[in-house]
Structure 1
């Protein structure tokens, strides 16, 4: 790991990425793509020096409250967070200034900060997003070797719901010929239903590959699924989007199940929900009168 100085941390769309790079080792990770222009090895985590201080300076200057998003590129709960604790410090800042939070992770480490998540949610809105890809635990350990297992993430979703924190699940990606089966998809949907998630994000049944992440993905296919790389090359060539033959059938299943269980579905609808700031501090409201 190494520190790097930045002038700011908050993007124009109110997003933050505290770390650049990741230790989770997911074989399909898009953040490895060359377009993100990481000048360091992906597993040599870059830490944005003084990230909590930069965030506090930015939030103090904002006239209007909003949702702060984190984790869209690099997970805020990678392993070094246990030592650095920058994510926790940033959550304290968000809580201090009564901003909302939309946070995305694959790790049950987020439960360490349950007290802060609850406090943020009491004042405004806190939404935890979690990615689920593979119900089979053995396959999960191949596709996502250094991250919380699907079972651990499922238990985390249930705990968050029990504590009044809304959750959104990203069902993604589904690797053609590997985890794009109806059995896997239905089992993951059942997890979402049992955990009472508020919404589901799904961009389709497939995976995206481009320069940088494609090479790493193919390397791991050769390591764990001999012959699969050639199957991808024959089926998709150099296409960015590698769509499963099961896409239409599984997306129809997703739509029907979400409608049946009143789960928010649709990329635009879910993104709008994640961006919508809500103010709920009853004590301050009472004090105004």
Structure 2
């Protein structure tokens, strides 16, 4: 489900800005799906029990959620009708709903997915300026671990010549190990760029990394897939650490873990 369309986190690399999604309003002018809760309730009443996911296009915990509480109200419905829940976020606002998340996890299943791109908080404030820093997200992961909530980390995007270093990848993996994450989503080391996203990203490169835009243009042209030149070395670090610590790292295994709904969940009476 997508409760909102557009985002105010300001991440300089966001693929959701791409023209392919046909957004007909300014990206930061968030569109609210006013009937989302009504539609969700109808779907929950007629569908078999499963995991309900959100956050693929827009982080559900944007600042607007503080006031509208659409996601919190969605969680109340998900709990009432005995479904599971998973979301992708960069925000510590998720802790506001920890009470409901724990209740859902006790009845069925929850997986919280948290994006980590850089271990450096100063760099994080450039790449993801309007959302909590990496160190705060790691604190959230540890709180969720202490509360028995399973977590998965998205290790992406990895931006060539910015955060594609062995030190950065090793540090993020150490955060994951310390936080007891179940799995890590990694599409190898690199990023994607297409029209809409590319122009915004290049504008931000000019602001924060002068000269790097020209390097991207010369090296990658208008390619959709932008691999890090350090991919082989960084993937070796990734594979070694995840294997050593028993963290799910193959994409099919991670997504299977996230989407699997336990058949022995406590079923609730429809209300």
Shorter-chain TM-score: which interval?
over 0.9
Are 1:30 and 2:30 counterparts? no
Per the alignment, in what secondary structure is the counterpart of residue 189 of structure 1? helix
Equivalent residue number for residue 5 of structure 1? none
Equivalent residue number for residue 43 of structure 1? 28
Equivalent residue number for residue 54 of structure 1? 39
How much has 1:52 moved relative to structure 2? 1.4
How much has 1:95 moved relative to structure 2? 0.7
> Could you list the per-position Cα deviations for residues 106-142 of structure 1 after superposition, in whole angstroms to 9, with x for gaps in the alignment?
0000000001111111111100000000111111000
Equivalent residue number for residue 61 of structure 2? 77
Conserved? CA contact 2:62–2:91, under 8 Å = yes
Per the alignment, in what secondary structure is the counterpart of residue 129 of structure 1? strand
CA distance in 2, matches of 1:217, 1:269: 31
How much has 1:50 moved relative to structure 2? 2.2
CA distance in 2, matches of 1:199, 1:260: 13
Equivalent residue number for residue 166 of structure 1? 150
Per the alignment, in what secondary structure is the counterpart of residue 265 of structure 1? coil
2:169 is matched with which residue: 173, 185, 196? Answer: 185
CA distance in 1, matches of 2:86, 2:246: 21
Per the alignment, in what secondary structure is the counterpart of residue 85 of structure 2? strand
How much has 1:213 moved relative to structure 2? 0.2
Equivalent residue number for residue 271 of structure 1? 255
How much has 1:253 moved relative to structure 2? 1.1
> Could you list the per-position Cα deviations for residues 58-113 of structure 1 after superposition, in whole angstroms to 9, with x for gaps in the alignment?
10111x21111100110000010001110100111111101011111000000000
Stretches of structure 2 that go unaligned for 5 or more consecutive residues are: none
Conserved? CA contact 1:101–1:126, under 8 Å = yes
Are 1:109 and 2:93 counterparts? yes
How much has 1:283 moved relative to structure 2? 8.7
Question: TM-score normalized by structure 2?
Answer: 0.97
Per the alignment, in what secondary structure is the counterpart of residue 264 of structure 1? coil
CA distance in 2, matches of 1:226, 1:104: 31
Conserved? CA contact 1:197–1:263, under 8 Å = yes
Equivalent residue number for residue 131 of structure 1? 115
CA distance in 2, matches of 1:221, 1:132: 20
CA distance in 2, matches of 1:274, 1:283: 20
How much has 1:280 moved relative to structure 2? 4.6
Q: 1:18 to 1:268 in 2, by over 3 A?
A: same
How many residues are aligned here? 268
Are 1:206 and 2:219 counterparts? no
Conserved? CA contact 1:28–1:213, under 8 Å = yes
Stretches of structure 1 that go unaligned for 5 or more consecutive residues are: 1-15, 285-289
2:219 is matched with which residue: 205, 210, 235? Answer: 235
How much has 1:279 moved relative to structure 2? 4.1
> Could you list the per-position Cα deviations for residues 35-65 of structure 1 after superposition, in whole angstroms to 9, with x for gaps in the alignment?
0010110000000012112101110111x21
Per the alignment, in what secondary structure is the counterpart of residue 87 of structure 2? strand
